[in-house]
């Protein structure tokens, strides 16, 4: 497939949209892991596990802010709280 065809299909907007959706899904997965680890702290999970997951979620939030419009980001923040 020629590069021009690939470029026509994979526009910057499309790539940003797909990347945003993947990051939002990943954030949701990490939130679920954080919830499970926090609930299971007494069952062998360490506070380090919780802190690492929390750090990843904070980093994902910053990346998502860059990929989303301001309105989208604000809506996403409201949905997750």
Rounded CA gap, 76 and 23, in Å?
Answer: 12
Q: What is the DSSP letter of 38?
A: H
**pTM for the predicted model, two decimal places:** 0.74
Residue with tokens 């954080």: 34
Q: Is residue 1 part of a domain?
A: no
Identify the residue with better confidence: 80 or 4: 80
Residue 54 belongs to a domain? yes
* CA 63/CA 79 separation, integer angstroms: 17
pLDDT tens digit string along 35-44? 887 776 666 6
Q: Which domain holds residue 49?
A: 12-80
Counting the structural domains of the chain, the total is: 1
Count of residues making up the chain: 81
Q: What is the DSSP letter of 74?
A: H
């Amino acid at each position: 497939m020629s590069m021009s065809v690939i470029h026509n299909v994979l526009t910057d907007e499309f790539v940003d949209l797909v990347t945003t959706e993947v990051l939002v899904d990943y954030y949701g997965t990490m939130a679920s892991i954080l919830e499970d680890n926090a609930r299971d702290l007494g069952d062998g999970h360490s506070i380090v596990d919780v802190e690492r997951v929390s750090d990843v979620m904070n980093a994902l939030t910053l990346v998502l802010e860059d990929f989303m419009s301001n309105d989208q980001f604000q809506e996403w923040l409201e949905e997750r709280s």
